[in-house]
Structure 1
Amino acid sequence: MTPATIVDVARAAGVSKTTASDALRGHGRVSDATREAVLRAASELGYAINRSARSLRTATTGAIGLYIPQVVFRSEHYLSFVYGVVDVAAGFDYDVTVIVAGEEARPNYAPHVDGLVMIDPAEGDAMVERLLAMGLPVVSSERFPSGQQPTGVVWSDHGAYTRVLLDHLAERGAHRPALLASATVSDWSIGIQESYLAWCRDHGVEPAVAVATFGTDASQAQAEAAAILEREPDVDALIGASDGFAAAAAPVVTAAGRVIGEDLLLASCVDNSALRAMHPSVTAIDTKGGEAGAECARLLFRLLSGETERGASIELPLELHVRESTQGRSQG
């Protein structure tokens, strides 16, 4: 008699293969009723997870790699992402080998891991190309901006949420929002800038864009914010694209004689605890760093076990948190 498979269990329980797998391993968002149905089906069919066979299929090393940019420890989003990956890996009894971006790719570097998770891969990153060439399963948070694509991707529609933010600013009285954009070329940064420019075209607004390098000293973002306010005095809203840009710009706005939340609305495309604690608190898009990291890790393990096909794509919804900095005069 042919042994039962995870597909048989899923069919008997009336759930998807992924849900059945999560229920059997105790992972994912599975209700108690669904978990019981899956376990009952597995018992009736005589199904058992064959760990040794799975290890042979995937050449298990007991570790996955996590490739991160050097600026990770300056970003709450990235730190949350790392914790999300580590937490899920621990549930699978796996270690996480952290691979940090360097100035140059190490040509002979080959981490001893089963697969890789990458955070926001940027265009022109030689180490990304080196790691892809290893032929291991790769899951990335956000799509690659060009060239070869990963085995699986967890992505968010940052462009759509940027438009939601811009519409909110317009509703609160802003007529000419400016964007303090990131110099990094990635799926995330491209989505934000393209959405901003398209919104400006649709609303007959002259774009006002300045660019700063993410992860550098706050003084660069402050200098760019000051320059745009001086150059474009009719700007009445400022969006900081990268984590930290809006917080860096706040004192510059005040020094220019503007009142945040009244004649200058301030917002960020990446939320963090500092923005929530500021006075006034700053409106921001919650990029769900921890959830993104956890989802990337779960997808990688499903790819390694053969439960998910190559090319898998999962969209992670985001959320706009409206706070005092975009209150507007009409709301005062």
Structure 2
Amino acid sequence: MTMARPATLQDVADLSGVSRGTASRALTGGGRVSAETRARVMAVAERLNYTTNSGARNLRRARAGSIGLWLPRGLHFMEYYMNFAFGVAESVRDRELTVSLISGDFPAARAHSLHVDGFVMADVDGQDPLARAILETGRPIVASELVPPGMPQPTATVAADHATATRLVLDRLRRGGATSIAILTPEIDQTWVTGVDRTAVEWSAESGIDVTFVRLEGVPEATALHDTVCDLFETAPGIDAIVCVPEGLGVGVLSALRELGHTVPDEIQVVSYVDSPTLPIVQPPISALDLRPREAGLRAGELLISIIEEGRTAPAVELFDLIYRERGSTR
């Protein structure tokens, strides 16, 4: 069918044999529409070259047509956060929405002026003033990982089960013969980090196996990491397993252990708490936890969209499991 004017929503509805409202819901993905009806309406819209006027619709609904994505300041380069951002972007793929990345240096005092309908926030840092300001905007917010105590709470949270994952890693090391375990953790106020620490302390008390914590300021460069490993063995010479919590440390720790004459995993077992593409290809390949960042971002984005567009009442916390990938760095 050829039309002398641009097709309208009413044209799509008439040719599909449905009401204008049903056609709108079928095209936007909102409301209850059967799969058969949605497919028929989409086919007619494609045949008519119909495109929705998202700007006008957002104006009618007093919406921005965009969701904001906040990531921890200075950590955007990490593989985890890049994949998380891809997941959030994937959540809007079939909707007329955009994702706006909120710069870490955006003035906290202007958080209310951000032209977005809601926010996805990953790993909220309890010391970040912009994160606090965003949580105080009163807009729908879905956080990935729990927000630290004392901060305004989000609308909903998608969080990994770090307690179970931490116990799984430590139990695997114990079954591999570990008797003294070092855990390298970042000095940062994020609940997943404090949760790993707390669970490890509880596990140590229950198992009778020593756990030594090494606090790291940021992500150390190769020389600083080598010095950290050297200092560790001077203060705790009986260490026979290391858990690297910050992303990107596994390969550096492996290299430092080799330079110090230790063999992995015969003498020292190594586990990375965050998986990355480099860990399976080094020698030996490093065991790691897959934190499933892309899925976390996708789930957080979809949950936020459902809250904004459908008024869905979300559970306070939605948990998902992590995947442990056993490789050659553990026995």
Match of 2:255 among 251, 255, 261: 251
Rate the CA distance shift 1:82–1:169 in 2: closer, same or farther, 3 A.
Answer: same
Q: How many residues align?
A: 293
Q: Percent identity?
A: 27
**Equivalent AA in structure 1 for residue 173 of structure 2:** L
**SS at structure 1 position matched to 2:132:** helix
**SS at structure 1 position matched to 2:68:** strand
Contact 2:72 2:125 in 1 (8 A): no
**SS at structure 1 position matched to 2:177:** coil
> CA shift at 1:317, angstroms?
1.5
**SS at structure 2 position matched to 1:276:** coil
User: What is the alpha-carbon distance in structure 2 between the residues aligned to residue 235 and residue 22 of structure 1?
Assistant: 60
**SS at structure 2 position matched to 1:279:** coil
User: What is the alpha-carbon distance in structure 2 between the residues aligned to residue 260 and residue 307 of structure 1?
Assistant: 52
**Where does 1:20-39 land on structure 2 (aligned, <5 Å)?**
25=29, 38-39=34-35
> CA shift at 1:307, angstroms?
4.3
**Where does 1:138-157 land on structure 2 (aligned, <5 Å)?**
138-147=141-150, 148-157=152-161
- When the two chains are superposed, the root-mean-square deviation of aligned CA atoms in Å is 3.0
Match of 1:133 among 114, 122, 136: 136
**Where does 1:43-122 land on structure 2 (aligned, <5 Å)?**
55=58, 59-102=62-105, 105-109=107-111, 110-122=113-125
Structure 1 segments of 4 or more deviating over 4 A? 21-24, 40-43, 51-58
**SS at structure 1 position matched to 2:115:** coil
> CA shift at 1:303, angstroms?
0.5
User: What is the alpha-carbon distance in structure 2 between the residues aligned to residue 175 and residue 239 of structure 1?
Assistant: 13
User: What is the alpha-carbon distance in structure 2 between the residues aligned to residue 219 and residue 141 of structure 1?
Assistant: 32
Q: Which residue does 1:182 correspond to in 2?
A: 186
Structure number with higher helix proportion: 1
Q: Which residue does 1:234 correspond to in 2?
A: 238
Contact 2:28 2:95 in 1 (8 A): no
Contact 2:173 2:241 in 1 (8 A): yes
Stretches of structure 2 that go unaligned for 5 or more consecutive residues are 1-24, 40-53
User: What is the alpha-carbon distance in structure 1 between the residues aligned to residue 220 and residue 68 of structure 2?
Assistant: 26
User: What is the alpha-carbon distance in structure 1 between the residues aligned to residue 61 and residue 330 of structure 2?
Assistant: 50
Stretches of structure 1 that go unaligned for 5 or more consecutive residues are 1-20, 27-34, 44-50, 328-332
Match of 2:274 among 259, 264, 270: 270
> CA shift at 1:302, angstroms?
0.6
Matched, 1:211 2:215: yes
User: What is the alpha-carbon distance in structure 1 between the residues aligned to residue 313 and residue 57 of structure 2?
Assistant: 16
Deviations 1:204-226 (A, max 9, x none): 12321101133453444333222
| TM-score of the two chains, using structure 2 as the length reference | 0.80
**SS at structure 1 position matched to 2:74:** helix
User: What is the alpha-carbon distance in structure 2 between the residues aligned to residue 58 and residue 167 of structure 1?
Assistant: 52
- Higher mean alpha-carbon deviation, 58-67 vs 147-156, is at 58-67
Contact 2:181 2:210 in 1 (8 A): no
